[in-house]
Amino acid sequence: MSASEATAPRRRVRRKRSSGLQRKQTRLAWLMLTPALLVVAFVAFYPLGQTIYQSFTDQQFLAFEPTKWVGLANYRRLIHDDAFRHSITVTVKFTLITVSFEFVLGLIIALVVNSSFKGRGVMRAVMLVPWAIPTVVSAQMWKWMYDPIFGPIDDAGVRLHILSHPVAWIAQSNTALWAVSAVDIWKTTPFVALLLLAGLQVIPHDLYEAAGVDGASKLHQFWRITLPLLRPAILVALIFRTLDALRVFDIFYVFFGSRSDTQTMSIVAQNTIVTEGNVGYGAAISVAIFLIIGIFVVIYTTFLRVQEQ
């Protein structure tokens, strides 16, 4: 009998022990994860299921009549709802504007902060100040700054001869969306930069040194090394910001209240459920918002997956 034939049974025994130990560890992991999964299922999936069920009913807030099953009636009404269709347009425009600018500016800031220079740590801390301010506070601050009579923006624009006269940025329909988008870009760009900076810091510096030795320019290194390796961080940043932008409520509500020409999808849902007390139809709007957000997430993940191939 050769030495390899003699040691074969020992290797099989070791593999069996290893596989048995792995199964035990897997069972232990699932056992320890089960409480957390149950909590997540209760906190996340139960409200979602309840909302979907309510969307098929005519439930009213504090109604004396019993709730009735109406099937797809709420969704048929939703298709022909001009106010909701307009809110989709406003929300999607806001999302495209803010996410695009925040990604480009956040990437530039992340690249600058990731480089070595004196005071880099201070700059990293200072750039997070706008993001750390509560949204309602920053929205109210900028609402005052946009005021055509007392606001410093119009005053500075007139003094510097950039504006011929004060402009009611919030009151005018053609500037209202851009005004609120600028505030969101100012506030959230540091968050995007922080996510992208985390992705930049895990890229090995040796790759840039090797590319430099081979004669690759900084621009070539950016397109061939930085962007491909930064793709996971880019995906996370885009999904996070798109989810937030599509669900935007607070900054629009502080700026415009329930003004019809600037209502987002979340404001329409809030008015339907809280103001009108129509829980069933409001639930249908909430489900539609959920599906629209899901479509954007699928587009992002599919596009980036295709780029990786």
What residues of the chain score a pLDDT lower than 70?
Answer: 1-20, 119, 304-309
Question: Domain for residue 48, yes or no?
Answer: no
Task: Give the distance, in angstroms, between the CA of residue 10 and the centroid of all CA atoms in the same chain.
Answer: 54
Phi, psi dihedral angles at 31 (to 5 degrees) = -60, -40
Question: Domain for residue 192, yes or no?
Answer: yes
For the entire predicted model, the pTM comes to 0.83
Report d(CA 207, CA 158) in Å as an integer: 51
Identify which of 246, 263, 100 has the alpha carbon closest to the alpha carbon of residue 177. 263
Question: Domain for residue 3, yes or no?
Answer: no
Q: Which domain holds residue 260?
A: 80-308
Question: Domain for residue 134, yes or no?
Answer: yes
Report d(CA 217, CA 264) in Å as an integer: 45
Domain harbouring 197, CATH code? 1.10.3720.10
**What is the DSSP-derived secondary structure letter of residue 261?**
G
Question: Domain for residue 96, yes or no?
Answer: yes
Report d(CA 104, CA 221) in Å as an integer: 18
Looking at residue 173, its pLDDT comes to 86
Question: Domain for residue 217, yes or no?
Answer: yes
Phi, psi dihedral angles at 71 (to 5 degrees) = 65, -130
Looking at residue 212, its pLDDT comes to 81
Task: Look at the block and give the residue holding tokens 């055509």.
Answer: 148
- Max Cα–Cα distance, the chain, nearest Å: 100
DSSP reduced 3-state for 130: helix
Looking at residue 16, its pLDDT comes to 58
Report d(CA 99, CA 198) in Å as an integer: 18
- How many CA atoms lie less than 13 Å away from 283 in the CB half-sphere? 23
Phi, psi dihedral angles at 303 (to 5 degrees) = -65, -45
Which ranges in the chain belong to alpha helices (H)? Answer: 3-40, 46-54, 73-79, 82-114, 120-126, 129-132, 135-145, 152-159, 173-200, 205-213, 218-221, 227-246, 250-256, 265-270, 279-308
Looking at residue 266, its pLDDT comes to 93
Number of domains into which the chain is organized: 1
Looking at residue 108, its pLDDT comes to 92
